[in-house]
Structure 1
Amino acid sequence: MKTWIEISKKNILHNIKALKSLLKSPPDPLSQRGRKPLFMAVLKSNAYGHGLREMNTICIQSKLVDWCGVDSFDEAMFLRKQKNRMPILVLGYVPFDRIGECIKNNVSIVAYNNELLKYLEKDSGKYNANFKNKKLKIHIKVETGTSRQGIANEELINFVKKANKNKNIFIEGIYTHYANIEDTTDPSYAMEQLKKFHKNIKSIESLGIHIPIKHSACSAAIINYPETHFDMVRAGISLYGHWSSHEAEAIAKQKNVNLTLKPALTWKTRIAQIKNLSAKTPVSYGLTERVKRNSRIGIIPIGYWDGYDRGLSSIGETLVSGKRAKVLGRVCMNMTIIDITDTPPKVKLFDEVILLGNEITAEELAKKIDTINYEVMTRINPLIKRVIV
């Protein structure tokens, strides 16, 4: 293989166990469970770049995961075809013409549009006949301050009333998402969102409607704010061994949270050619960089098509035989040039190069290209083979 990604099963299992150790019993007073919250592994966006197939295998075999969260119905069906029998929640948009398949395959979906209720009501006879009175399981999204998906207050109450009367619907869950719980050391906005979530739940329960699964906690909330745990938590980036931000990690240290996360992804390639260049020789497109000394360079067969960001041109670093090797010139579509002058003399053709992993962290790459670790990992081309190690 010219490039591949290794996923550490050991580190994923460590992260799951470490996160679950933070879940307390009993959870929030509004919880209906009376025991520790359920654990959702968020596998959306090709499992944050780690490989949906591979992460599904690890989660099933671990017997530590209660739910899986995905972005699309197609991702949910992929998991079902991979023999995943866990409850699955689609957190993103689901076209109405896939609703029947959701019911058939026991896939839960997020709900917030009255049009969904009208659609199901209009075709109620068809659904009852085709699915033997099986119901669509929904998790209602409460808007508390992210200005994204969701509804709240009177609109929410009316929606819940209608959904509760609809014979084709089972209100399985209700949840919200925090806008500013991970990028700040000030949790005040998130706590206001939590208050709004509590208020909306209490308004619903005052109608005599009890929703089994309430959830709000993302990775940062799982780690730092146990009051957000409710009946289920949704582990995203922390599942893969990364902190959602430096601020989230700082708060955990302030609170003496006993947690170590272990990154699970290592992205590798090989040296496809080795050359010797004289000082001042230009490298790659645009002549944007010239070597400052007589240099030994390696051409590696990956580029921005593979997800190695073009912003790393002339500033990225790789690992070759444990030594850092700088990116020279522009990252190309399918190739990148690295400086192997200072690597051990034994480095030879076809030796491995680490693009991401070990001391080359997603956080380091994100800082260099002015983005976040999430983007660095999720933008790795999904066609690249992932291997569980």
Structure 2
Amino acid sequence: MAGQHGQEAQRAGTPHAQARIDLSAVRANVSRLCEAAGSAEVMAVVKADGYGHGMAAVARAALAGGATWLGVAGMREALALRAAGVPGRLLAWLLTPGDDWNAAVASGVELSAGATWAVRAAVRAAQAVDRPALLHLEAETGLGRGGATADDWRALLETAARAEAAGYVRVVGVWSHLARADEPGHPSCDEQLAAFRSAAGLARRAGLTPDVLHLSNSAATLTLPEAHFDLVRPGLAVYGLSPVPDLAAPSELGLRPAMTLTARLASVKRVPAGQGVSYGHRYRTARETTLGLVPLGYADGVPRHASQAGPVLVAGRRHTVAGTVCMDQFVLDLGDAPAAPGDEVVLFGPGDRGEPGAADWARAAQSISHEIVARIGARVPRTYTGGSASGEL
């Protein structure tokens, strides 16, 4: 069978699947975002293990590309970056009373406070470690998620101002988050901008002088310059994926996808017409054909919702997942194309060889590109090109 020589060429220890991360693409993407941000600084968001790309490696590449801040969701992520020796200003915003506030304040991690309890937690930590806590006060401007509502904002400002006067905290930022920036021109963006400006004005009148005001995500960084303020917080675009996929592909925004997800065929066999494939036999072969088994499944992050729809590239040809995606594997109907165990399957990448992109998988799974890359699991080893994963900045 053609391709059989590839089977023999696989060395012991060759991974059956891998996510290749191009750190030069991350650097170039951040440089492009710095350009788009104008006079605003750039915070590269590296939460969720760098959207599945590897948090510490991406953080270093982002700083090398021109970012001056890093952002994560949880405090444990922030402390992991500090433990890895990653420098720079670092904000964590999804915090709970049970987090290790003492360690975060001692490490210089900047913390979000969207309620008075968070300011009190920061004060206790500052007293414990004898170092002021650095706070970003979060205003609810319309997303309906975190942050102080307009009714609670004044109380938050008063609590923070008293803590700052006592020397326990420094209010270094005021921030919020846009709900529909991925729909350029949506009236909610202007409404949130007005609400944010009002919240910032109240903070100044309360005697607070934050270093930065920040509101913009990836979409707003690229499409809504009036929302840039002092700092922008791109996430998805750092990894080269479009935050407005219905309007522009990554290349049209000057971005390059950094992750390429590949696997090696584990099994290849001829089957007759009418053969049921995978659980539930949601797919049956229309004629005698070749089935290829791909050793990746939903436990690795391949969406089960992409059953019968997920696109892949094998030997320069596009194929679609045949049948149900299983926990560890899925099947392809390769027709009469030559194939052998060990042949490469490309699930998604930058498109250089005609392979699908993460956005194609997002459409197949009725999801978003963020989820496609962030859900790639720990069983899939990451390999890095374009710079060392632990290299110098």
Distance 1:82 1:117 in 2: 27
> Post-superposition shift, 1:304?
1.0
Question: Aligned in 2, Cα 1:139/1:339: closer, same or farther, shift over 3 Å?
Answer: same
Please give the root-mean-square deviation of Cα atoms over the aligned residues, in Å. Answer: 2.1
In structure 1, what is the equivalent of residue 218 of structure 2? 219
CA separation of 1:231 and 1:249: change in aligned 2, threshold 3 A = same
User: 2-side partners of 1:264 and 1:120: how far apart?
Assistant: 37
Rounded Cα–Cα distance in structure 2 between residues aligned with 1:94 and 1:322: 49
Say whether 1:170 aligns with 2:166: no
For the residues of structure 1 that align with 2:171 and 2:154, how far apart are their CA atoms?
13
**Residue 263 of structure 2 is aligned to residue 260 of structure 1:** no
Q: Are 1:131 and 2:133 an aligned pair?
A: no
Q: Which runs of 5+ in 1 are unaligned?
A: 25-35
- Please tell me the residue identity of whatever aligns with 2:154: I
| TM-aligned CA distance change 1:291 to 1:97, over 3 Å | closer
Measured in 2, the distance between the counterparts of 1:113 and 1:342 equals: 62
Match of 2:4 in 1: none
Equivalent residue for 2:268, pick from 271, 274, 279: 274
Tell me what 1:181 maps to: 181
Q: Partners of 2:320 and 2:206 in 1: how far apart?
A: 63
| Matches of 2:103 and 2:365, distance apart in 1 | 41
Q: CA deviation at 1:295?
A: 0.7
4+ long deviations beyond 3 Å: 94-97, 117-121, 246-250
After superposition, the C-alpha distances for 1:39-69 in whole angstroms (9 at most, x for unaligned) are 1100111211222133134234x15221111
* Secondary structure in structure 2 of the residue aligned to 1:172: strand
How far is the alpha carbon of 1:207 from its aligned partner?
Answer: 3.4
Which of 57, 61, 81 is matched with 1:58 structurally?
A: 61
Contact 1:96 1:116 in 2 (8 A): no
Provide the rounded CA distance (Å) in 1 between the counterparts of 2:253 and 2:187: 23
Asked if 2 retains the 8 angstrom alpha-carbon contact of 1:185 and 1:247, the reply is no
Residue 330 of structure 1: how far off its partner (Å): 1.4
Aligned to 1:40: 43
Q: Distance between the aligned counterparts of 2:83 and 2:27, measured in 1? A: 23
Deviation digits for residues 213-245 of structure 1 (CA, Å, limit 9, x no counterpart)? 111111111111111111111011111111112
State the distance in 2 between where 1:195 and 1:270 align: 52
Q: Secondary structure at the match of 1:84?
A: coil
Change (3 A) 1:315 1:235: same
Question: CA, structure 1 residues 190+247, in 2 after alignment: closer, same or farther (shift >3 Å)?
Answer: farther
* 1:323 counterpart = 2:317: yes
The superposition leaves residues 144-176 of structure 1 with CA deviations (integer Å, 9 ceiling, x where unpaired) of 111111114452223122212213211111101
**Structure 2 runs not aligned, ≥5 long:** 1-14, 386-393
Q: Structure 1 residues 110, 95: CA separation in 2 closer, same or farther (over 3 Å shift)?
A: same
Q: Name the CA distance, whole Å, in 1 between partners of 2:203 and 2:307.
A: 54
> Alpha-carbon deviation of 1:321?
1.4
- CA contact under 8 A between 1:94 and 1:109: conserved in structure 2? no
Tell me: CA distance 1:269–1:288, structure 2 relative to 1, closer, same or farther (3 Å).
same
Distance 2:359 2:122 in 1: 45
Does the alignment pair 1:112 with 2:114? yes
SS at match of 1:244: coil
1:115-167 C-alpha deviation (Å, 9 max, x unpaired): 2334455x47xx44x433x1111111011111111114452223122212213
How many residues align? The count is: 364
Letter in 2 for 1:315: A
TM-score w.r.t. length of structure 2: 0.87
1:376 corresponds in structure 2 to 372
State the 1:306 CA deviation: 0.7
2:232, 2:357 → 1: CA distance?
A: 26
Number of the residue aligned with 1:93: 95
The one-letter code matched in structure 2 to 1:220 is A
Deviations, residues 249-291 of structure 1 (Å, cap 9, x unaligned): 39x99xxxx8321111111110111101111111112222211
Structure-2 residue corresponding to 1:29: none
